[in-house]
Amino acid sequence: MVRRVRVLLLTALLLVMGAVMSAAPASAVIGGSKSTYGPWAVRMLVDGKPACTGTAVTRQWIISASHCFFEQGQPVADKRISFRVGNLDMRKGATVHPVPGRRAGSAHADMMLIKVPPMKVRTARLATAPVQPGQAVRQYGWGATCTGDENTCQSPVLKQSDLRVVRPDDPRCDGHTAPGGSDFCMEKVSGIPAGGDSGGPVMSIAPHGTETLLGVFDGSDREKTAEAGEISQQLAWIHSVTRR
């Protein structure tokens, strides 16, 4: 079994901004495609360097992966974090910063909610029903578009990969998802998310404006399978935080 490689923030923090911005690959994700839509997608930076991806779930709250906010086991300070919002090209997006002390991590999933000043973006609709095996989904992010040294091929433009949900007890997901767990497992259809895509949205495939946020991407094997925290299982927590 190919062992899945968790998309760690440590890798993202080693990115060199110049290398990232000079890379403009024709394809996206690893073998995916360039996105033409994704108004709720957010690019996370640490110390001004691309790190992870997120989703605007309200005008003042972004959801991403918890592991993006830790470096060598220690929390990343709010003052080091910024987000680019409102444009598929992260170089053209508006910059917002976290409201100090206003982020909350889920106790049951690899998810973090971060409060920011009001954003002028379309927010994502949250799924209220669980994903189903065989369901087609689409993952979005600004992460690596190559295998090997992912630092050299981060995308400045939003990209996407198409995947299909598989059963949590599928042997390919062994050790990473399980029936009743917080994550769901996906197989590659076209493209696979990688480093820098952590925290990015996994959406239903529907007409623009009617798609729903199904999951928060948190890991892949860079070849055939990926996993995401399931939004429908975390709705009570999301609402309890964003309504404060």
CA dist 193 to 34, 61, 83, 216, Å?
13, 23, 20, 12
Q: Exposed, middle or buried by CB within 10 Å (0-12, 13-18, 19+), for 236? A: exposed
The pLDDT of residue 157:
95
Residues of the chain with pLDDT under 70: 1-29
Topology of 125-231 in CATH? Thrombin, subunit H (2.40.10)
The pLDDT of residue 8:
36
Q: What are the residue boundaries of the structural domains of the chain, listed by start?
A: 125-231
Strand ranges, E, within the chain: 5-6, 33-34, 41-46, 49-58, 61-64, 70-71, 74-75, 81-85, 94-96, 103-105, 112-115, 125-126, 136-141, 159-166, 183-190, 201-204, 212-220, 225-230
The pLDDT of residue 29:
66
- Report pLDDT digits (tens) over 229-240: 999 999 999 999
- Report pLDDT digits (tens) over 36-64: 999 999 999 999 999 999 999 999 999 99
Q: Is 70 helix (H, G, I), strand (E, B) or coil?
A: strand
Q: pTM for the full model?
A: 0.87
